[in-house]
Homo-oligomer: A and B are copies of this chain.
Amino acid sequence: MTLEDILAELRLQREGARHAETGMWVASVLRERIAAGQLAPGSKLSEEALGEALGVSRNTLREAFSALAAEHVVTRIPNRGVYVARPSADDIREIYRVRRYLEPAALAWSPATDVTPLRLAVERSRAAREAGSVTGMADANQAFHAGVVELAGSERLTLLMKQVLAEMRLVFHSMAADPVFHAPYVEDNARIVELLGAGQRAEAAELMADYLRRAEAQLLAAMAGNGA
């Protein structure tokens, strides 16, 4: 699908725009397209072209850009424009730094004990693995880790985690992802749920920390090999 096709689609998609929402509406549309990989990392988002396609003025579009830049979905280079973010090795380290605090902490100290959503995510992971669906596994895995942080019951931590996971999707889009990257980790997730359900929170947190260290190392190695 070419960029022209996408612009054409976006042109059709504008209908429900209302007063006092246009900026956020544009942001959400771009967020979806980027998450789906239809706007590849590194793509330049021209104010003129996008504004024309979406039927919004440059000012409104820039408001959307500000929101996306704050989420690291997009990179703004002054006087040069905004580009779909292309996470660097340092960005990956930062992502996992955040996750290594958030996820074990949520497992160790959350008041919530309902692990049903986590169990479901593991189920979906396994089903996707059997079906050989790479995106299915990726989605289910993200749902699992988002669910872990949601145990904390904090809006801001949940939001931060969602943004970090969105950046993770960009990482996978940036490099030719290993089709079986997620496969080995499905059973780690299952074991974490098991430990958590049994009340062994410290052990669950430790396993999670270990999992995150391994995943980070694997991603960094893949990126180094794949070429920057």
Contact = CB atoms under 8 A, between A and B. Distances in A.
A94 interface: yes
Given A67-B66, A160-B160, A104 B98 contact: no
Contact of A67 (B59, B62, B70, B109): B70
Copies of this chain, how many?
Answer: 2
7 contacts: A21-B78, A94-B155, A101-B152, A101-B154, A101-B157, A102-B105, A104-B105
Interface residues of A, number: 31
Interface in A77-124: 78-79, 94, 97-98, 100-102, 104-106, 109
Contacts of A105: 101-102, 104-105
B154 A98 contact: yes
Given A97-B154, A97-B157, A101-B105, 16 more contacts: A20-B78, A62-B63, A63-B63, A63-B66, A66-B66, A66-B67, A70-B70, A97-B152, A98-B154, A98-B156, A98-B157, A101-B102, A101-B109, A101-B157, A102-B105, A105-B105
Given A66-B63, A78-B20, A100 B109 contact: yes
